[in-house]
C-alpha cells in the first residue's frame, strides 16, 4: 500500500471527514450499532445485557440506595467500584433512553479515536492510506459489536489508555496519570500499566496514576455518597471482588471464572492443570474437562505465578535500553504491553480482546512499510495466523476451542511478532535511535 495524505504528517491525528467514503461507512456502522441498542428499547421489550444494570446503578445513586449487599457472600448485581455508578447517575436522571444514547455515543467516539491513536502511534514514519487505516477496524468489528450490544466499557477504556500514552509521549505525564487513574477507577484492570511505568521510570505518571486513583475512589464520590458511606461501600466491593478467591472461583462470577468464556492466562492455565468443568457456566451442558496434568488449586496458582513471571521477564528482556529506544520500538513495546494487559486480567471474555487493536495496527504498519520484503511477508503471515485463531471464536465452532484459549494463543502470536520486530529493526532505523525519539527525562 502506498502512503497518502491521510494525516497532515506521520503521527498526527485527523478529523472525521464527511467527504471520505470510509469515514461515511464508519458513521453508518455507528448508526447501525446504535440502532441495535435503541430499537429494542423503543419498539421492543427493552434492551437487555448490561444496559439495564447501568440504569439500575445510576438510579441507586440518585435515590441514595446501596450499590452492594451488606454481606459479601451475597450476589453482587454491580461488580464495579462506586465511581462509574456516579458517572452513570448523570444520564440516568433523564431516563433509560438518554442513558443508552450517551453510552452509544461514547462507544462511537471511542471507536474513532482508538483507530486514530493506534494509527498515529505506530512509529512507522509513514502516513497510512485510507484502507490501511481502516483495516484494523474491519478485522476487529465483531469486538466492537460486542461493545455496543453488551454495553461494556472496554472500548472506552482502550481509547482512554491510548490517549494516556499519547499524552505521555507529548510530555504530559500528569494528564496521562489522570487518564490511567480514571480507567482504573472504572474497571480496575488498567492498573496493570503501573509496573510498566515504573520500569520505564515515568515517575510523574506513576505518582499521578496512584494519586488520582485515590482521589477518584475516595474523594470524588464523598460529596454525593458521604465519605464514610463511600469508604464502606468501597471496602465491601474490594472484599467481594478482589479479596475473595478459591478453587470455586473469584470476583462474584464463579460460574464464568473457570469456564470456556474466560480466556485469561489465569483461567486457561487452571483449566490445563486441574480437572475443571469448562461448561460450568451452563448447568444444562454436560461436564467437560481438558486438563493435561492434575494438580491442586495451590499448585495451579504457583504455576500461574511462574508463567506470569516468565512472561514479565521476557518482556523486560525484549525491551530496548533507554538509549536505543525509537518511536518504532516504543510502538512495538506498547503493543506487547497491551497484549499482556489483555490476558493478565483475571476475567478475559471475548470482548476483552478488543484491546489487541493497537498490536494489530502496529503489525499492519510493519507489514505495509518495512523495508525488507521477507519481513513484510512474515508479518502478514503472523497477522493471518492470529486472525484465523480468533475466528475460531465464531458461534459455529465448538466452545472447546475457546476453552483451549484460541484468543490467548492469537495474542501470543501477535506479541511474539512484535518482540521479533523490536529485536530486528531495519538498519536505518536502529542507527539513529536518539534522533528518532524525544525521550522524557528520567
Please check whether residue 82 is in contact with residue 233, taking contact to mean a CB–CB distance below 8 angstroms.
yes
Confidence category of residue 282, pLDDT binned at 50, 70, 90: confident
Each residue of 225-269: pLDDT tens digit? 999 999 999 998 888 877 676 666 666 666 678 899 999 999 999
**Hey, what long-range contacts does 247-252 have (CB within 8 A, 24 or more apart)?**
247/274, 247/297, 250/346, 251/79, 251/346, 251/347, 252/75, 252/76, 252/79
How far lies 316's CA from each of 150, 221, 236, in Å?
36, 37, 36
How far lies 234's CA from each of 110, 160, 188, 315, in Å?
28, 23, 13, 33
89 pLDDT higher than 70: yes
Q: What share of the chain is helix, strand, coil (3-state, %, to 5)?
A: 65, 0, 30
147 pLDDT higher than 70: yes
As a whole number of angstroms, the distance between CA 179 and CA 200 comes to 18
Residue 4 is predicted with a pLDDT of 40
Please check whether residue 27 is in contact with residue 115, taking contact to mean a CB–CB distance below 8 angstroms.
no
433 pLDDT higher than 60: no
Give the CA dihedral 257, 262, 268, 270, nearest 10 degrees.
0
439 pLDDT higher than 50: no
Q: Kindly give the residue spans of alpha helices, DSSP state H, lying in 319-372.
A: 327-344, 357-369
Residue 438 is predicted with a pLDDT of 47
Q: How many CB atoms lie within 10 A of CB 411?
A: 27
As a whole number of angstroms, the distance between CA 175 and CA 168 comes to 8
Give the CA dihedral 373, 378, 384, 385, nearest 10 degrees.
170
Confidence category of residue 5, pLDDT binned at 50, 70, 90: very low
As a whole number of angstroms, the distance between CA 22 and CA 358 comes to 20
Query: What interhelical angle do 141-150 and 154-169 show, nearest 10?
Result: 120
Q: Which of 33, 41, 39, 34 is nearest to 96 (CA)?
A: 41
Each residue of 174-207: pLDDT tens digit? 999 999 999 999 998 899 999 999 999 999 999 9
Output phi, psi for 167, to 5 deg.
-65, -40
Secondary structure string (H, E, C) spanning 289-305: CCCCCCCCHHHHHHHHH
Amino acid at each position: 500500500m502506498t502512503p497518502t495524505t491521510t494525516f497532515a504528517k506521520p503521527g498526527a491525528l485527523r478529523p472525521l471527514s464527511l467527504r471520505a467514503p470510509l469515514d461515511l461507512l464508519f458513521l453508518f456502522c455507528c448508526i447501525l450499532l446504535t440502532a441495535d441498542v435503541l430499537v429494542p428499547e423503543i419498539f421492543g421489550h427493552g434492551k437487555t445485557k448490561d444496559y439495564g444494570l447501568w440504569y439500575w446503578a445510576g438510579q441507586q445513586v440518585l435515590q441514595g440506595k446501596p450499590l452492594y449487599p451488606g454481606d459479601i457472600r451475597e450476589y453482587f448485581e454491580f461488580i464495579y467500584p462506586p465511581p462509574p455508578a456516579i458517572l452513570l447517575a448523570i444520564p440516568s436522571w433523564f431516563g433509560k433512553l438518554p442513558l443508552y444514547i450517551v453510552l452509544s455515543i461514547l462507544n462511537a467516539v471511542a471507536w474513532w479515536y482508538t483507530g486514530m491513536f493506534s494509527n498515529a502511534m505506530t512509529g512507522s514514519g509513514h502516513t497510512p492510506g485510507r484502507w490501511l487505516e481502516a483495516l484494523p477496524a474491519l478485522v476487529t468489528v465483531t469486538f466492537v459489536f460486542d461493545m455496543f450490544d453488551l454495553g461494556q466499557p472496554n472500548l472506552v477504556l482502550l481509547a482512554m489508555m491510548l490517549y494516556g500514552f499519547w499524552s505521555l509521549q507529548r510530555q504530559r505525564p500528569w494528564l496521562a496519570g489522570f487518564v490511567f487513574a480514571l480507567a482504573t477507577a472504572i474497571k480496575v484492570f488498567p492498573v496493570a500499566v503501573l509496573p510498566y511505568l515504573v520500569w520505564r521510570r515515568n515517575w510523574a505518571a506513576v505518582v499521578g496514576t496512584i494519586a488520582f486513583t485515590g482521589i477518584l475512589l475516595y474523594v470524588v464520590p464523598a460529596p454525593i455518597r458521604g465519605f464514610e458511606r463511600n469508604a464502606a461501600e468501597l471496602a465491601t466491593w474490594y472484599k467481594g471482588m478482589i479479596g475473595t478467591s478459591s478453587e470455586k472461583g473469584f470476583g462474584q462470577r464463579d460460574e464464568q471464572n473457570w469456564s470456556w468464556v474466560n480466556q485469561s492466562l489465569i483461567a486457561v492455565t487452571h483449566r490445563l492443570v486441574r480437572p475443571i468443568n469448562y461448561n460450568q457456566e451452563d448447568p444444562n451442558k454436560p461436564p467437560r474437562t481438558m486438563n493435561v496434568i492434575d494438580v491442586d488449586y495451590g499448585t495451579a496458582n504457583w504455576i500461574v505465578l511462574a508463567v506470569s513471571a516468565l512472561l514479565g521477564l521476557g518482556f523486560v528482556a525484549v525491551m530496548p535500553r533507554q538509549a536505543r529506544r525509537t518511536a518504532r520500538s516504543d510502538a512495538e513495546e506498547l503493543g506487547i504491553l497491551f497484549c499482556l494487559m489483555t490476558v493478565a486480567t483475571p476475567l478475559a471474555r471475548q470482548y476483552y480482546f478488543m484491546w489487541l487493536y493497537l498490536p494489530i495496527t502496529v503489525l499492519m504498519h510493519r507489514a505495509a512499510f518495512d523495508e525488507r520484503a521477507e519481513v513484510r511477508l512474515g508479518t502478514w503471515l503472523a497477522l493471518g495466523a492470529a486472525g484465523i485463531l480468533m475466528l475460531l471464536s465464531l458461534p459455529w465452532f465448538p466452545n472447546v476451542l475457546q476453552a483451549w484459549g484460541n484468543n490467548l494463543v492469537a495474542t501470543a502470536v501477535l506479541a511474539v511478532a512484535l518482540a521479533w520486530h523490536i529485536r530486528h529493526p531495519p538498519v536505518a532505523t536502529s542507527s539513529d535511535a536518539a534522533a528518532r525519539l524525544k525521550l522524557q527525562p528520567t
